[in-house]
Structure 1
């Protein structure tokens, strides 16, 4: 009934010698030559169209001289090939921003795609466990596109069906070392697609001078430094609360003083007030004249100042009830920023239990009820453990500067932040290299952003105090 194929008789062979291998030939199916030719021609055509679609500029560089040579002769083609590098060189030196925006980054992205990512994609995916090799076939995630900025490569990847974002965030170190980068960050582009960011250099390696005092009186967002992509780091202080965590010498003072510096015009205009709690008596004491009688150093004075802020906040809330749901700064109702330099000293290390309860209750009240009526809290601490700061989840925006342990990153920024690239425990302890560098997680986005705060020197602080008092 059924025709026997070559190899079917192998199941009937019996070997009596233990070390004798049974050898048989599998079935062979012969494909007609015309089918093979059609398949190869179709693959060649599809590959050429895909190349033109994905890399139009690089393809134009190759095809244009060929077309000119074909239509006008070899002299015109040679002239075009000679004149093009000269024109591009002149464009690069005379108008570098437009050259990079329109051509330079595209050519670099094409080169990085060919020489780095496609070249090493298959072994990196298989070894890291993001790809699978089953029955002689590789199942790999696909590179959709590569784009370059001045500091990083952004690789868009289509995941395999059934993969999760955590599968990639758990292997960021494998990806970084596999493609020769210092780090890798994972974020979601859309369903089934990820963005992998591989930095080529560190744009935040150089310390930043103090940001100039703004000309316009505004309560924010205030510029406090620079983001890794070169954009200004704008810190929102009005309508939110900010928690800054970092080890000793990590640069917490840079964040605090840069925020106060950004509010200086609004302070002079009476639209903002800064209330300072300085239990260490070191950081905020340099600009004590900026705060007037709204400065406290001893625990008892800190408790009194916080309770005074709560009283004003509640009075303002009673006046707003049923009339407005958001705060607009005015001279009568200014924005109040409560700055606490070392909040753990007041909430965890305070020996007087009565003062500890008063301070904790006042901070909890401000962070839960103060946003809508124009009260914000900017708190800094060194130890982010929950038993030290049990209200850290009441701060919508968080900043992690240099930390001592990897577990502390997730304590500050939330679960999974370190897996997505917030390597705050890898920041250099050398002040010139790492002070002020950190990662920000905003209320509106779970993805951490690498930033560096500007350094406000002692002379800058004294100049600010003199300007306000004058």
Structure 2
């Protein structure tokens, strides 16, 4: 009565006969054994060639003793293995850095690849939705390589065709917990490949003391702390503007005072001037002697100081017009850094509308026209909402310290920053653990960088005032 059809077509049939059990068997094509054996041998040979090509040293280390053992006996093979091991054994105890660079991190990367990533790769990809199971076959992204540093595993992944970076950034928490890490950061290595960073430990957990004052006068970049990978955190202040956002106690003062500390030799040489606005009368007033008459605390005085900076900037722009496009600090035309602590009090919470308009207009003028003529603005605030700081997009470089809400991360660093791993809302509120830690979004790169600024104590500020106050406001 019914014609037998292949299994895929049988699903489309509808029977109107009640209580009728119709069974369809899918068509089966029997593959000859010789074809199966040939495919298996070809895949085995290709796998061996690929293994030798990718890991020649590891293959040689295993193959040479095995061949010697077969040809000349196990004693010679044992000697060949034991002698190099006995010579290499003291290496990590005498020079751990070179051992890790040449062998330690490679061995750890191999172990992490085998025991962590390949072992859990399929279930994590399928459960997180980054892999697909179609018709009983798994389509998974491929691990290209794993490298280890002193603090993290760096996993290079080839995406499935048709995937986007957002598919991965939306699942960073799945990836982190799936592979036993505290977080995961996603960056684009090249087209079709991603670099996943899984931290094994937190190198910024220990507070950093104030860095030594530089011996050479320079306008920057200013070294203010350490990045997560161990490199110095050098903050660019000349030729840009910096916005620092963080909750109370997040460490905004560490960044401000570390920057001023790094510029002190240039201040002494007359190449830099620091203009300070301190509406809270707390953070910058402690080193007020460093600023002299370029310090303001009341809203009216802050408006006057900002407008004075605009006047100097515009006078300099008139002199530079048609002669130069970039600023080089000199004694006659120094770099001017305008530091504004708690800028939201001046731009949003100021009750005097006239002062609010003056301050907002002056800040907008400095941030739009000041870079080319040697004026930079460093502004700090707690609330990064647009209605609080309507010129935040005029700051090319941004720093997000500890924030209260996850949505605030993208408000400060830009859309997608949190998905790329800038978890500023997860920074510990305990001062010893999280103060001064933040994520940096530079004008030249969308990928956030995690770093920690050195803590400049009251004693350090007093010493700075004692040594540099006389020259700072000449």
TM-score tier (shorter): over 0.9
Partners of 1:221 and 1:416 in 2: how far apart?
Answer: 26
Partners of 1:404 and 1:198 in 2: how far apart?
Answer: 24
* Cα 1:19–1:427 shift into 2, 3 Å: farther
Q: What's 2:217 paired with?
A: 217
Q: What's 1:162 paired with?
A: 162
User: Normalised by the size of structure 1, how large is the TM-score?
Assistant: 0.94
Partners of 2:205 and 2:468 in 1: how far apart?
Answer: 33
Asked if the contact 1:5/1:27 (under 8 Å) is kept, the reply is: no
**CA apart distance, 1:372:** 0.3
Q: What's 1:138 paired with?
A: 138
Partners of 1:220 and 1:199 in 2: how far apart?
Answer: 30
Asked if the contact 1:15/1:22 (under 8 Å) is kept, the reply is: no
Partners of 1:467 and 1:323 in 2: how far apart?
Answer: 38
* Cα 1:30–1:357 shift into 2, 3 Å: closer
| Unmatched segments (≥5 aa) in structure 1 | none
Residue 51 in structure 1 maps to residue 51 in structure 2: yes
1:263 partner SS: helix
Q: Which moved further from structure 2: 429-438 or 16-25?
A: 16-25
**CA apart distance, 1:17:** 9.4
Q: What's 1:407 paired with?
A: 407
Per-residue deviation, residues 73-99 of structure 1 (Å, max 9, x unmatched): 422211232233333321111121111
* Cα 1:466–1:59 shift into 2, 3 Å: same
Per-residue deviation, residues 81-140 of structure 1 (Å, max 9, x unmatched): 223333332111112111111111111111111111111111111111111100111111
Partners of 1:66 and 1:458 in 2: how far apart?
Answer: 66
Q: What's 1:40 paired with?
A: 40
Per-residue deviation, residues 236-268 of structure 1 (Å, max 9, x unmatched): 000000000000000000000000011011011
Asked if the contact 2:5/2:24 (under 8 Å) is kept, the reply is: no
1:156 partner SS: strand
* Cα 1:469–1:44 shift into 2, 3 Å: same
**CA apart distance, 1:16:** 9.0
Partners of 1:71 and 1:221 in 2: how far apart?
Answer: 63
Residue 90 in structure 1 maps to residue 126 in structure 2: no
Partners of 2:65 and 2:393 in 1: how far apart?
Answer: 62
Residue 277 in structure 1 maps to residue 277 in structure 2: yes
Q: Which moved further from structure 2: 59-68 or 191-200?
A: 59-68
Partners of 1:60 and 1:290 in 2: how far apart?
Answer: 65
1:132-211 matched pairs, under 5 angstroms: 132-211=132-211
Partners of 1:262 and 1:71 in 2: how far apart?
Answer: 67
1:318-357 matched pairs, under 5 angstroms: 318-357=318-357
Per-residue deviation, residues 405-440 of structure 1 (Å, max 9, x unmatched): 000000000001001100000110000000011100
Asked if the contact 2:222/2:259 (under 8 Å) is kept, the reply is: yes
1:293 partner SS: helix
Residue 301 in structure 1 maps to residue 312 in structure 2: no
**CA apart distance, 1:25:** 6.9
Residue 29 in structure 1 maps to residue 53 in structure 2: no
Asked if the contact 2:384/2:412 (under 8 Å) is kept, the reply is: yes
User: Normalised by the size of structure 2, how large is the TM-score?
Assistant: 0.94
1:114 partner SS: helix
Partners of 1:37 and 1:342 in 2: how far apart?
Answer: 73
* Cα 1:17–1:414 shift into 2, 3 Å: closer
* Cα 1:56–1:203 shift into 2, 3 Å: farther
Partners of 2:173 and 2:292 in 1: how far apart?
Answer: 50
Q: What's 1:418 paired with?
A: 418
Asked if the contact 1:155/1:196 (under 8 Å) is kept, the reply is: yes
Per-residue deviation, residues 197-230 of structure 1 (Å, max 9, x unmatched): 1111100000001111111100000001010101
**CA apart distance, 1:293:** 1.1
Residue 233 in structure 1 maps to residue 233 in structure 2: yes
* Cα 1:460–1:22 shift into 2, 3 Å: same
* Cα 1:24–1:354 shift into 2, 3 Å: closer
**CA apart distance, 1:57:** 3.8
Q: What's 1:80 paired with?
A: 80
Partners of 1:220 and 1:36 in 2: how far apart?
Answer: 66
| Unmatched segments (≥5 aa) in structure 2 | none
